[in-house]
Amino acid sequence: MALNTTEAIEKLAAEIGENVYLDIAKWHLYLSNAHLHTLLAEQLYPILSAKSLDEDRVLHILQSIPVKIGGGKKEVSLIDFMPMQCQVILMDILEKYQRNM
């Protein structure tokens, strides 16, 4: 079971990493390149077992993940770097993933 869960999280992380990005001065840093895709997938995966996906819970998770900037001088929440389009893409990925579980 643990291996299946690990594989499922890795698959979800890969899809998130390839499609969701941080927008920094109109520069797109995909979550895989920022090494945030696995962390995000690990936090989102447990909520996919619910009957319906709770968007507020997803947004709370995005808010709770700190992104260090300036060599760690500051932390900004992940959601603050994500344009609305990426939030919609993330929800679409999660909904599709949940349907296929």
Which of the 8 DSSP states describes residue 56?
Answer: H
How far from each other are the two terminal CA atoms of the chain, in whole angstroms? 14
pLDDT, tens digit (0-9, with 9 covering 90-100), for 46-89 = 999 888 889 999 999 999 999 999 999 999 999 999 999 999 99
3 state DSSP class of 91? helix
3 state DSSP class of 73? coil
What's the structural domain count of the chain?
A: 1
CA dist 95 and 92 (Å) reads: 5
Q: What domain range includes position 70?
A: 2-99
pLDDT, tens digit (0-9, with 9 covering 90-100), for 19-37 = 999 999 999 999 999 999 9
pTM of the complete model: 0.92
